[in-house]
Amino acid sequence: MHDEFRFLIDCGEGTQRQILQSGLGFKRMNRILITHGHLDHILGLAGLLSTFMRWETIDELEIYAGHWALERIHDLLFGVVLRGVKPPMEIHLLEIRPGLFFEGPDFDLSAIPVYHRGPDCFGYLFEEKARRPFLAEQAEALGIPPGPWRRDLVNGLSVELPDGRRITPYQVLGEEKKGTRLVHIGDVGRTEDLVEACQGADTLVIEATYLEAEAEMARDFAHITARQAAELAIRAGVNHLILTHISRRYREHQVLDEAQAIFPNTWVARDFDVFQVRRGENVKLESRA
């Protein structure tokens, strides 16, 4: 979620039930990012759509995914759920390729190609645009009156004050500050090619399906271990690591122990967890069921 923008990343079975239970609601939940086409990441779209069919809460639904996943999603939604019935809202299936594919007013969203079973698997990078903070004291000292002049300066425009003086933005804007970077990687079988994309992220969300004791199985199924996730976090210099997609055979503390031995700033995400990610600050676990 980013201001007025909400993104749902992947939609496993039971997602709509969990959203209902969480109290998050479906309002503006009109953009869904799919990492890949495996059923445990898309089946929930069927339930979500049938919920939308009963309560028309949104006008448009945008589903972003790679080519192969989109074909499967198309079959699921139009072949199984709708079967010729007109959808309650416009459904846009949008094929993504590596790189920037969505620009918000103050953030960019890019797709990162990842290796997993099957073609067209992606991770997602949310990146707040860099900005220069407005220095209120500086503006005060220069005697810039409140109003449109300040607004224009904030937007990088030079202004002429009522008294005829010309002020340029660099006189009242501080040094450029990089925006928050959040990387979300779904299922993935190797991490070497992700170091660059994850570089300096404030938070990396990534799968850790296995423990190192079953590294061979992880390799066979193109997943990674908690240790591999932690090593990626170190190499890419990220600040925080949130692990997901944990095999039910493990206990949370086993996964945490393995990862934290290498990278202490690690969480294992639970259903209903709410984390807040801000540049230069510790990740905040805002609520946990």
Active site residues: 40
49 to each of 57, 93, 215, 247, how far by Cα in Å?
11, 13, 37, 27
Least distance (Å) from Zn ion to the CB of residue 169? 47
Q: Which two tokens stand for residue 233?
A: 């976090």
Q: Which of 129, 126, 127 is CA-nearest to residue 156? A: 129
Sole binder of Zn ion in the list 11, 15, 38, 198 (CB under 5 A): 38
Least distance (Å) from Zn ion to the CB of residue 14? 14
DSSP string covering 159-185: EE-TTS-EE-GGGTB---BPPPEEEE-
First to last CA, the chain: 19
Name the amino acid, one letter, at 23. Answer: G
Asked whether position 160 contacts Zn ion by CB under 5 A, the answer is no
Asked whether position 40 contacts Zn ion by CB under 5 A, the answer is yes
Asked whether position 176 contacts Zn ion by CB under 5 A, the answer is no
Count interface residues toward Zn ion (CB under 5 A): 3
Closer residue to Zn ion (CB): 65 or 172:
65
Closer residue to Zn ion (CB): 40 or 220:
40
Least distance (Å) from Zn ion to the CB of residue 170? 48
CA 201 to chain centre: 12
Beta-ladder partners of 266: 241
Closer residue to Zn ion (CB): 10 or 128:
10
Asked whether position 72 contacts Zn ion by CB under 5 A, the answer is no
Asked whether position 227 contacts Zn ion by CB under 5 A, the answer is no
* Stretch of residues binding Zn ion (CB under 5 A), selected from 33-41, 71-79, 86-94, 268-276: 33-41
* Residues near 208 by beta carbon (within 8 Å), at least 6 away in sequence: 224, 225, 226, 228, 229, 243, 244, 245, 246, 255, 259, 268
Instruction: Map residues 187-216 to x or -, x wherever contact with Zn ion holds by CB under 5 A.
Output: x-----------------------------
Which residue ranges make up the site for Zn ion (CB under 5 A)? 38, 40, 187
